[in-house]
Amino acid sequence: AQSVTQLGSHVSVSEGALVLLRCNYSSSVPPYLFWYVQYPNQGLQLLLKYTSAATLVKGINGFEAEFKKSETSFHLTKPSAHMSDAAEYFCAVSDSYGNKLVFGAGTILRVKS
Partner 1 sequence: GAGVSQSPRYKVAKRGQDVALRCDPISGHVSLFWYQQALGQGPEFLTYFQNEAQLDKSGLPSDRFFAERPEGSVSTLKIQRTQQEDSAVYLCASSRRDRGTEAFFGQGTRLTVV
Which is it for strands 44-50 and 56-58: parallel, antiparallel or unpaired?
unpaired
How many residues touch partner 1 under the rule CB under 8 A: the total is: 26
Residue in 7, 22, 24, 44 binding partner 1, rule: CB under 8 A = 44
Q: What is the dihedral of CA 34, 86, 44, 69, to 10 degrees?
A: 10
**CA–CA gap between residue 8 and residue 12 (Å, rounded):** 10
CB of 77 to partner 1, least distance (A): 20
Minimum separation from the CB atom of position 43 to partner 1 (A): 4
Mark 13-32 with x for binding to partner 1 (rule: CB under 8 A) and - for no binding: -------------------x
Query: Is position 106 an interface residue for partner 1 (rule: CB under 8 A)?
Result: yes
Interface with partner 1 in residues 71-100 (CB under 8 A): 90, 92, 94, 96, 98-100
CA distances to 19, 50, 66, 75, 113 from 13, in Å:
7, 25, 20, 16, 9
Rounded CA-CA distance 58/20 in Å is: 14
Residues of this chain that bind partner 1 (CB under 8 A): 4, 32, 34, 36, 41-46, 49, 51-52, 90, 92, 94, 96, 98-106
